[in-house]
Structure 1
Amino acid sequence: MYSDRALVIGAGFAGLLAARVLAESYGDVVLVEREVIGPGFRADLPQAHLLSAPVMGVVEALFPRLGLEWEDAGAVRADLGSDLLVRLPGGWAPREHIGVEVLAASRGAVELGIRRRLGRLANVSVVDGVVVDGLLHDRGTVTGVRGWRGDRPFTDYADLVVDASGRDGKLVSWLAEFGVRCPAPVIVNGRVAVASRLYEVNRDLGLDWKIACEVTRAPLARRGAVVSSVDGLRWLVTLVGADGDVPPVDEDGFLDFATSLRCQEVAEIIKTAAPVSEIRGASNLRSRSNRFHQVTDWPRGLLALGNSAVSLNPVRGHALTLAAVNCADLRALGREHDLAQEPPVFHRAVARAARIPWQATTSADLGWQSKKLPARTRVARWYADRLVRAVPESRRVHRASVRVAQMLDHPVRLLRPGVLVTALTRGRSDQA
Structure 2
Amino acid sequence: MYSDRALVIGAGFAGLLAARVLSESYGDVVLVERDQITADTGHRPGVPQANHPHALLARGADVLDTLFPRLADELADAGAVRADLGSDFMTRLPAGLAPRDFLGLSVLSMARVTIERIIRRRVLKLPNVSLVDGVTIDGLLHDRGTVTGVHGTRDGEPFTDYADLVVDASGHHSKLVSWLAEFGVHCPAPMIANGHLSCTSRLYHVNHDLKLDWKSACEITQAPSTKRGGSVSTVDGDLWFVTLLGAAGDVAPTDEDGFLAYATTLSCPDFAEIIKTATPASPIYRAGNLRSRWNRFHKVPNWPRGLLALGDSVVSLNPVHGHGMTLAALNCATLRDLLTEHDLAKEPLVFQNAVAKTAQVPWTSATTTDLGWSTRKLSLGTRFAQWYARRVFEILPGNPKVYRALVRVSQMVGHPAALFSPRVVWRVLSGSHPRARAR
Per the TM alignment, residue 310 of structure 1 is displaced from its structure 2 partner at its CA by 0.7
Give the 5 Å matches for 1:22-421: 22-38=22-38, 40-42=40-42, 45-421=50-426
Question: Structure 2: any 5+ residue segments left out of the alignment?
Answer: 45-49, 435-439
- Residue in 2 that maps onto 1:19: 19
Are the counterparts in 2 of residues 46 and 236 from structure 1 also a CA contact under 8 Å? no
Aligned to 1:351, the other structure's residue is in SS state helix
Are the counterparts in 2 of residues 43 and 109 from structure 1 also a CA contact under 8 Å? no
Per the TM alignment, residue 43 of structure 1 is displaced from its structure 2 partner at its CA by 5.3
Q: Deviations over 1:319-343 (max 9, x none)?
A: 2221111000000001100001111
Q: Which amino acid aligns with 2:24?
A: E
Aligned to 1:349, the other structure's residue is in SS state helix
Aligned to 2:130, the other structure's residue is in SS state strand
Distance in 1 between the 2:355 and 2:367 partners? 17
Q: 1:226 to 1:171 in 2, by over 3 A?
A: same
Per the TM alignment, residue 425 of structure 1 is displaced from its structure 2 partner at its CA by 2.0
Per the TM alignment, residue 236 of structure 1 is displaced from its structure 2 partner at its CA by 0.8
Distance in 2 between the 1:223 and 1:65 partners? 38
Distance in 2 between the 1:269 and 1:159 partners? 52
TM-score by length of 1: 0.96
Distance in 2 between the 1:370 and 1:258 partners? 27
Per the TM alignment, residue 135 of structure 1 is displaced from its structure 2 partner at its CA by 1.0
Aligned to 1:146, the other structure's residue is in SS state strand
- Residue in 2 that maps onto 1:424: 429
Per the TM alignment, residue 228 of structure 1 is displaced from its structure 2 partner at its CA by 0.5
Per the TM alignment, residue 244 of structure 1 is displaced from its structure 2 partner at its CA by 2.5
Distance in 2 between the 1:261 and 1:150 partners? 49
Are the counterparts in 2 of residues 255 and 267 from structure 1 also a CA contact under 8 Å? yes
Pairwise CA RMSD: 1.5
Distance in 2 between the 1:116 and 1:403 partners? 31
Q: Deviations over 1:100-149 (max 9, x none)?
A: 11111101110111011112211111112222121111111111111222
Q: 1:394 to 1:69 in 2, by over 3 A?
A: same
Distance in 1 between the 2:39 and 2:308 partners? 31
Aligned to 1:41, the other structure's residue is in SS state coil
Aligned to 1:99, the other structure's residue is in SS state coil
Distance in 1 between the 2:379 and 2:176 partners? 31
Per the TM alignment, residue 56 of structure 1 is displaced from its structure 2 partner at its CA by 1.3
Distance in 2 between the 1:35 and 1:193 partners? 26
How many pairs align?
429
Per the TM alignment, residue 39 of structure 1 is displaced from its structure 2 partner at its CA by 6.3
Distance in 2 between the 1:151 and 1:252 partners? 44
Aligned to 2:147, the other structure's residue is in SS state strand
Distance in 2 between the 1:39 and 1:320 partners? 21
Per the TM alignment, residue 393 of structure 1 is displaced from its structure 2 partner at its CA by 1.4
Per the TM alignment, residue 57 of structure 1 is displaced from its structure 2 partner at its CA by 1.2
Are the counterparts in 1 of residues 35 and 133 from structure 2 also a CA contact under 8 Å? yes
Per the TM alignment, residue 161 of structure 1 is displaced from its structure 2 partner at its CA by 0.7
Per the TM alignment, residue 40 of structure 1 is displaced from its structure 2 partner at its CA by 4.5
Distance in 2 between the 1:41 and 1:259 partners? 35
Distance in 1 between the 2:261 and 2:39 partners? 35
Are the counterparts in 2 of residues 194 and 241 from structure 1 also a CA contact under 8 Å? yes
Distance in 2 between the 1:192 and 1:367 partners? 11
Q: Percent identity?
A: 62
